[in-house]
Amino acid sequence: MNETTSIVEAFLFSEGGPVRKTRLAQLAGISAEELENVLDALQTRLTGGLTLVRTETEASLVINTKAGEVVRAAQKKELGLEIGEAGLEVLAVVLYRGPSTRAQIDYIRGVNTASTVRNLMARGLLERAGNPLDAREYVYRPTTELLAHLGVSEAKNLPEYATISRELAAFEQQKEPFSGPQAGESA
């Protein structure tokens, strides 16, 4: 049961929100009754900053009350800062390119954007959804709140949308990863 408990914990963590118990049991390959026993074991095992919240139909990993106060204070401090140039660049990529994986955003910007994307999601400017082309990753897209703040009903109404989106597509098609000198070539 310890391995199954770890698997259920991993699924709850990876979802980042409530998961229907029927789906969770299916993902873990166990019955509904077994899932309840596993969730009991997980709840007992969680003694740190996380706790398990359960309803009749869903389960979710959440930050416990004491840790939650510290985390909320840190997030409030972080969200009080401007989004900066990196945030604006990520938003531009997602707005003009369309739904994008983090790897695609990183490729266009040339740097790791994990913390910037997380910050923009916390501010309600980006949302994360499952990637229909690859279930192992997510795509990020602008929220309706961001579009409303920008005064447009859809991204296609942004200034220079056709030109910029075309240039982004051309950049992605012509730039090859690791395009430095090949073996035997001089730099």
Per-residue pLDDT reduced to its tens digit, 13-25? 888 778 899 999 9
Predicted pLDDT of residue 78 = 60
Residue 187 lies in a domain: no
- The answer for residues whose C-beta is within 8 angstroms of residue 106's C-beta and 6 or more apart is 112, 113
Confidence (pTM): 0.54
- The mean pLDDT value of the chain amounts to 85
In this structure, the answer to whether residues 58 and 100 fall within a common structural domain is: no
Residues 51-102 have pLDDT tens digits of 898 999 999 888 887 787 787 777 676 656 678 899 999 999 999 999 999 9
Give me the pLDDT at residue 67, please. 80
In the predicted model, is pLDDT for residue 47 greater than 50? yes
Q: What per-residue confidence (pLDDT) applies to 72?
A: 75
DSSP, res 153: S
Q: Give me the phi and psi of 103, to 5 degrees please.
A: -60, -40
* Number of domains into which the chain is organized: 2
**In the structure, what pLDDT confidence band is assigned to residue 27 with cuts at 50, 70 and 90?**
very high
Looking at the structure, tell me whether residues 60 and 99 fall in a common domain: no
Which one, of 87, 122, 123, 81, lies nearest residue 105 by Cα?
87
Residue 113 lies in a domain: yes
